[in-house]
Structure 1
């Protein structure tokens, strides 16, 4: 295991994490404990991977005609996912919301088959609905839209505050961008330079996985992260692409406020 401590490379026994990011040559665990939850990429079929191309302000795409559909509790088909995502974002919702980069329209997180009600279970012709979830950075709300796939309309909207599901891939990349641009990212830049001989300028040079960070009872944290929970905050597992891990877990990126803080 190779550790960086105060600018010097040291081998042997582990040393404490410092303000400088620590380069480690072992695979970090795939899960975190406490108030963290794993993320870094959308879940679902291939059609959900990545964010759809942003539309021009005020332009709402017509819902595609229903084509391939599943039966019963079959997973959503790619056509159903696309239809649900298009139906879920009305013009008003798009105009009044923001994604992680501050662009118009909410940040889409997931699209899943909705659960049936107690009186619908076992029905021969049970309804087929999708739930599309978003994070609206304009007012820090978690929004769930329920879409009737047969009827082609939104049948329910649930808006909650303080709910923080795992970040998607775009959110993890934006967190890395903010970290690279911040003075607290200098340790990451130095370790990247030592590992590759190149200058770190873009998240494209890293492989990152985001984990939600929440401050609160049982995890007070420093004053600089007290908004985390109401704000959308993440910690990153950061790796040089095809190279070593660089430990940035002592740093918290507040995506709502566009700032970086350090855990003491």
Structure 2
């Protein structure tokens, strides 16, 4: 592990060499395009001040906020406003849904992935006054389920819920950060910590000392991998590109972090 990492220390990792279906999500500074992975789409949730304002509330077990006032709304197919995003996110998580689901850290409530304007049905396209609906997506780590909630912003009602298994959208910033935390704490993170100390003279103890890019990893037909990653695809697994903040890259592509099982595996 250590010899592998030292060969890559300080070099930008070429994304074209990574044979894995992947989408980058950023923590810290931006990953150069040449290192973003062959199928990078720059994924992650729709960012806004409203989303950040919800983070503290998610940490309080059993708390379900009252739906905010309708606030400022968009028109037609305009992107969701901050007020609409906040309203949709609050309405989408019922008390039962919060109590029966878990986020990436094992806390009550699902892991929110994205909030976007929902598509119109065919008979609504081109009509005046078409409804504005938000689609809020989650990953429930308790059931390893991808959950889509559709919210009618005018009525304040959840009009649809879709649950899928084996669907793995790109990891969010929070998920990539948690993957880095698990790797740092695991014995397989030893080489990463040694290379970090060589580069900085400091101990690596927390994810915010790194810039991390997370990519979904799947095992299956055409990509069997070792037995230790056989559950990846049903479980939520990621690989990481890691970099010292404002410093060199450290190669951790051979390591797979299973966020569902909180385990680390090495690819052969």
Aligned counterpart, 1:139: 143
For 2:141 and 2:70, the matched residues in 1 are separated by: 31
Decide which moves more: 45-54 or 99-108. Answer: 45-54
* Equivalent residue in structure 2 for 1:176, among 150, 158, 180: 180
* Deviation for aligned residue 1:25: 2.0
* Deviation for aligned residue 1:48: 6.1
Structure 2 residues not aligned, in runs of 5+: 28-43
What TM-score comes out, normalization by structure 2 length?
A: 0.88
Cα deviation code 1:152-193 (max 9, x no counterpart):
010000000000000001100110011011111000000000
Change (3 A) 1:176 1:55: closer
* Deviation for aligned residue 1:49: 5.7
Q: Does 1:130 align with 2:134?
A: yes
Aligned counterpart, 1:262: 266
Change (3 A) 1:130 1:139: same
For 2:159 and 2:121, the matched residues in 1 are separated by: 14
For 1:21 and 1:218, the matched residues in 2 are separated by: 30
Alignment of 1:11-26 (within 5 A): 18=4, 22-26=7-11
Aligned counterpart, 2:21: 35
- Secondary structure of the residue that 1:52 maps to in structure 2? helix
Alignment of 1:91-240 (within 5 A): 91-240=95-244
For 1:202 and 1:55, the matched residues in 2 are separated by: 20
Q: 1 or 2, which has the higher strand percentage?
A: 1
- Secondary structure of the residue that 1:194 maps to in structure 2? helix
Change (3 A) 1:92 1:195: same
Aligned counterpart, 1:72: 76
Highest CA radius of gyration, 1 or 2? 1
The Cα RMSD (Å) is 1.8
* Deviation for aligned residue 1:40: 4.1
* Deviation for aligned residue 1:144: 0.3
* Deviation for aligned residue 1:30: 5.9
Cα deviation code 1:178-216 (max 9, x no counterpart):
101111100000000000000111111111010000000
Tell me the number of residue pairs that the alignment of Structure 1 and Structure 2 aligns: 249
* Deviation for aligned residue 1:33: 4.5
> Is this contact kept in 1: 2:80–2:116, CA < 8 A?
yes
For 2:96 and 2:103, the matched residues in 1 are separated by: 15
Aligned counterpart, 2:256: 252
- Secondary structure of the residue that 2:176 maps to in structure 1? helix
- Secondary structure of the residue that 1:58 maps to in structure 2? coil
For 2:167 and 2:23, the matched residues in 1 are separated by: 12
Change (3 A) 1:5 1:56: closer
- Secondary structure of the residue that 1:227 maps to in structure 2? coil
Q: 1 or 2, which has the higher helix percentage?
A: 2
